[in-house]
Amino acid sequence: MDASKLPLYKDMPPVKGMPHGCAWGLFDKNDVKDEIGTLNLLTPEVVAEAAKEIKTGKSVCLSWSLEYIKEPGYNRLATKHKIVNWREFSSNWSYDDELSINTQSGSQWDGLRHWAYQETGQYYQGIHHDELLKTDHIGTDHWCERGGIVGRGVLIDYVSWAQRKGVKYDPWTTHRIPISDVQAIAEEQGLKFRPGDILLVRTGFTKKYEESSREERLRINSVGEYVGVDSSPECVEWLWNNHFAAVAGDSIGFEAWPAKDVKYRLHDTLLAMWGMPLGEMWDLEELARECERQKRWSFFLTSCPLKIKGGVASPPNAIAVF
């Protein structure tokens, strides 16, 4: 979809029973309800333009190792990896491996089935929690059927900027990154956003996790606070008016948690109201180093989520190419 055909945030049409800013119906075509939300902005023209970011051929994996979160919160399953030795039951010299994962326990895309608008229990396009699993709607398989998530990625390196500006913070506290800081960083990095961009924000959460002890890591589960973009009216309006296709970061949530005002909580707004994929716990450390080396913070980004009907979330399997 051509982003120029979308209204500004202040002009978004009302949706019955929902607050201002709900995008249900805006991406529908020929009376068929949309399944992929803001990924509609990744048109062939947008992707072809994004491919021009490839200049050196250097690629960087953006997925954090699946085994890092050994004791995830909320009683979620930690990744289990079993190697199967064929020699134990056959004459073949061969191995398989078996994985058991919770898609929330590591690098992920939150899909449109993951989080409802909490006041009403409705997911993207108004599907109620009690009805969702009776349908095939808004699963991650629809992302795959449209060709995955491919476009121009842009990095906001808050960690480096905060160090230069003398801003001290702990990534394991509710440190809110105001959208004014995001704009200042983009200007300093020479970033000019384009419709369909995939916005990445580096906060330092995963870096601290890797450097911390088991005892320190367990504190995350008990406290439930972490750094992220500030959920505010200004942030919501700015994200919509820039027409990003998706957002992601290296913290447990893209937004600071807990939200200051649940009315503008980004999980509710982005996933349920806009149909925008929301990435969490991505590995942005090497990406930040490569951006600094090349002195540019935009790149070609490709992501192939797991193709499983009705998928709720998925490892991103994301790669940045310079």
What is the b/e burial string over 267-280, where b = at least 16 CB atoms within 10 angstroms of the residue's CB?
Answer: bbbbbbbbbbbbbb
| Residue 94 included in any domain | no
| Residue 77 included in any domain | no
* pLDDT score at 218: 83
Residue 158, classed as helix, strand or coil, is: helix
Instruction: Supply the range of the domain harboring residue 191.
Output: 3-64+107-321
| Residue 227 included in any domain | yes
Q: What is the pLDDT of residues 100-152, one digit of tens each?
A: 999 999 999 999 999 999 999 999 999 999 999 999 999 999 999 999 999 99
Q: What is the pLDDT of residues 252-311, one digit of tens each?
A: 999 999 998 899 999 999 999 999 999 999 999 999 999 999 999 999 999 999 999 999
| Residue 102 included in any domain | no
| Total number of domains in the chain | 1
| Residue 172 included in any domain | yes
Q: What is the CATH number of the domain that holds 145?
A: 3.50.30
Q: Give this prediction's pTM.
A: 0.96
Contact yes or no for 201/247 (Cβ under 8 A): yes
Amino acid at 306: L
| Residue 101 included in any domain | no
d(CA 170, CA 160): 14
75's CB contacts (< 8 A; 6+ apart) are none
